């Protein structure tokens, strides 16, 4: 697993290795990440001043890829100990300690936000119905800008929640990417 583009292009990130099945870590593959960021170029996202929220951050690869490509800052949220260790290692490896913050709590129980985010990644454990709950928590806590783009990774296409427009849905093997915009 590596950073695909930007300042940290080619940098190898700490991997899950044999992993911890109870941690539900399933990093987004390099191929899917590259395709996803190519698709995101179509949605008028500011490259240099956008703030990124990464829910169920896992290894942090999605947020760190966004930072490498010019995002201003990122908050990575995960309550798993294995994930938290990997995120910390990868923030150090990419030298993004000034731009990236790890929030060690459940993505489904977010506190009130101090600022809102224009790009949100959600990669919950598949089939556990956590993505919708996390999105609801983010909305209730003021974590999303009015026109935020949400990238939701799951094992099935996700329905469009009220208050969002469906921008795109794509399948990559057993992974479905649903891209939404808050309206």
pLDDT digits (tens, 9 = 90+) for 27-60: 677 788 888 888 988 887 766 789 999 999 999 9
Q: What local confidence, expressed as pLDDT, does residue 32 receive?
A: 82
Does the reported pTM lie above 0.85? yes
Domain ranges of the chain: 25-182
Q: What local confidence, expressed as pLDDT, does residue 24 receive?
A: 60
Residue 103 pairs in a beta bridge with 77
- In which band, very low, low, confident or very high, does the pLDDT at 2 lie, cut at 50, 70 and 90? confident
State the Cα–Cα distance between residues 110 and 119, nearest whole angstrom.
16
The residue-averaged pLDDT of 97-123 equals: 96
Of 14, 38, 37, give the one whose Cα is nearest residue 27.
14
Q: Report the number of secondary-structure helices (H) and strands (E) in the chain.
A: 4, 7
User: Is the predicted pLDDT of residue 17 greater than 90, yes or no?
Assistant: no
pLDDT 10s digits, 163-172: 999 999 999 9
Q: Is 139 helix (H, G, I), strand (E, B) or coil?
A: helix
Of 72, 74, 143, give the one whose Cα is nearest residue 107.
143
> How far from 47 is each of 66, 128, 176, CA to CA, in Å?
9, 32, 24
The residue-averaged pLDDT of 154-159 equals: 93
CATH class of 25-182: alpha beta
Residue given tokens 């590259």 in the structure block: 34
Q: What local confidence, expressed as pLDDT, does residue 26 receive?
A: 66
Which residues 6+ apart lie within 8 Å of 72 measured at CB? 48, 49, 50, 51, 99
The phi and psi torsions of 165 (rounded to 5 degrees) equal -105, 140
User: Is the predicted pLDDT of residue 20 greater than 60, yes or no?
Assistant: no
User: Is the predicted pLDDT of residue 23 greater than 60, yes or no?
Assistant: no
- As given in the structure block, the two tokens for residue 35 are 């395709």
User: Is the predicted pLDDT of residue 64 greater than 60, yes or no?
Assistant: yes
User: Is the predicted pLDDT of residue 85 greater than 90, yes or no?
Assistant: yes
CB–CB of 116/145 below 8 Å? yes
Q: What local confidence, expressed as pLDDT, does residue 123 receive?
A: 93
User: Is the predicted pLDDT of residue 19 greater than 60, yes or no?
Assistant: no
Q: What local confidence, expressed as pLDDT, does residue 47 receive?
A: 63
């Amino acid at each position: 697993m590596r950073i695909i583009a930007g300042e940290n292009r080619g940098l190898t990130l700490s991997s899950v290795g044999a992993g911890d099945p109870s941690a539900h870590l399933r990093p987004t593959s390099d191929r899917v990440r590259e395709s996803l960021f190519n698709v995101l170029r179509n949605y008028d996202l500011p490259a240099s001043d956008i703030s990124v929220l990464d829910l169920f951050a896992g290894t942090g690869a999605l947020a760190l890829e966004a930072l490498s490509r010019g995002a201003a800052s990122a908050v990575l949220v995960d309550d798993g100990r294995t994930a938290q260790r990997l995120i910390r290692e990868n923030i150090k490896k990419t030298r993004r300690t000034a731009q990236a913050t790890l929030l060690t709590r459940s993505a489904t129980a977010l506190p009130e936000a101090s600022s809102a985010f224009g790009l949100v990644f959600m990669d919950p454990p598949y089939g556990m119905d956590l993505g919708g709950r996390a999105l609801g928590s983010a909305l209730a806590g003021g974590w999303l800008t009015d026109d935020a783009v949400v990238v939701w990774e799951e094992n099935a296409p996700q329905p469009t929640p009220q208050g969002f427009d469906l921008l795109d849905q794509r399948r990559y093997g057993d992974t479905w990417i649903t891209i939404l915009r808050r309206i």
